[in-house]
Structure 1
């Protein structure tokens, strides 16, 4: 039987929310667990949306965190297709947006995620303009890519980040023509800098992707509601039958802001500011996943990747139960593009490092890259090299100076470099 003396409410039905609910039950919590999700689908994982599921290699059911019956079996009160439009911190209630129902909480977890940034240009209302964040987006886009491949159609992608490049790879596998428009001088510039960004540009060029760097999309040209071309600020027109906006995501903080919770500075990615236990400025409210900005390695960071949701949700759940926990995971993500697989650990945006050290053969696309400042490893990325993530993360976390020549030498075991 569920003990109704305590009620924990989770707002947000993604991976972080589902894993938090799972953890509460695994840790023996017997109170009510209410999970409120604004989508009609059960909680699912997002990486397949731009990878296996988009390519048709993974079935729809494979993306869900739990089978639908799991929630009832574990006494999780799941509200699908519901939104929360207000938090009353004094009364400790949340208000449902559709009918104004008030739900009281003892502890509240905000895992509201992020929303794709929208193109602010003429033509975004045309039928062939797409975003990729939700399962419904991926299923629509999969049909679009298949049709473009059959008809030798053109896809223009605004944005050369991870989502943009993964969709570019998928589109080429379907046979579609692809042009990527990116204002920076290389793809993945904000994540990898120019050194590795240019390598990824070559990977995609070899597969037929066209890039147009240093420009912005200014207009989507259409006729009778359909896309015909995309215009950039240098006056060029790129033929297009469909356009994907892949220009990043913004944390969904409106609910927290209206409730008066402290937000992180936009210069560090914004989001809801939390401490090392993922508590917000209100001790009865926690936040995790894409929306949370947490302290790490002397700074503050908001991370939008799968591992952050996977690990953050359970830590938040344990903190809600009063356990002495700390969330200090080194950021981690992975990507698959064509026959290239990679894992990236750490965080080293352009300007934060003084050199990039390569170990292995970049020409064969089998190597490890390290972003280093004053001999200390800030981040590492293994490309088609496996079972090294633990060593890379230990190097990052140690903050110790390493011998850069040894770091570059594939004959020196990484384990020997870890203090």
Structure 2
């Protein structure tokens, strides 16, 4: 009960701040006040508008907002989101474009389960949708999952990816963004040993903590400083009575958001102060850069407690992936079993979450993979989000990833008959 009361207290505080913002906006916007203009009332209304929107979007899942798409025929086609696989903790969804010929590239984007919804990859999906059939792992908010659905830890997460890859088939190109990179690597190795016919053609790992100790950051240092007992005591709560997952142990999204904001608190405070002034001057809009960013950034979801704790204990503290000691239901997963899935890593030179060196460590673990099927790339000026969204992704990284996919799309063949993939991969590896 103590943990449920704490969970409800956090939601009460969020709801109160949202109400305060709405009240300030309504009071300062009272029509009769327009008879006597007062700059203080304009500022109060602006503060209320920004505050209400800020706290309201913390509990609202953003919409994908991808409704139409202009194909090469010059016509606009509707985009429909179809569920390919439905599971309690997450679905595999497909961004279908009716009327368009099926694209040769079939891409499965593995979205992070790190406090944000899969919609964080909206711009990534849009950029790939141009020339690919795009599938995404759409993870659910743990507070909406009944306790009867059972647990969900890193092993269950990996098995979900295994099932999704089996559903997609071998002509698939998997791209894992950030947090799921080590578990996606493990899922690929699991298939390589137990179901090789279901392996994807390529695996691209973007900014993931394959070896957190390769280049420590504040995130990895935090995992080292605290004990598992301290984490469970301070970070884990039980879902309150107003949600479907009542009683489920979770790492609340609001706590995760607080840690995100604290990493760059001054920048966020300045951003909100500037936005309040823009609203007061009438210069803001519903979809201005501030709102576009924070509508997504502030929308957080709860993670299953066992997933969060096992990630810290096994991936960051125990380094099970980095040491090639990861097990699934007692079965040791040997990353060296990957022998014909081309693997590429992408890192950002200014990534302060998964620093350069953490992700590229995956290539050294793929001892059974020939060098011509390995590639790496470092984007010098990109931060963590820049390596999968924004200008760096669009202009530099995305073209290289698509070239890597094309170079390794055909089934494996003797090296003498396949000079193009070898040259392309070697060239990419030289940039890492």
TM-score range, shorter chain: under 0.3
* Structure number having the greater strand percentage: 1
Flag the structure with more relative contact order, 1 or 2, with Cα contacts below 8 A and sequence separation at least 6. Answer: 2
- Give me the TM-score of the superposition, normalised by structure 2: 0.26
* Structure number having the greater helix percentage: 2
- Give me the TM-score of the superposition, normalised by structure 1: 0.26
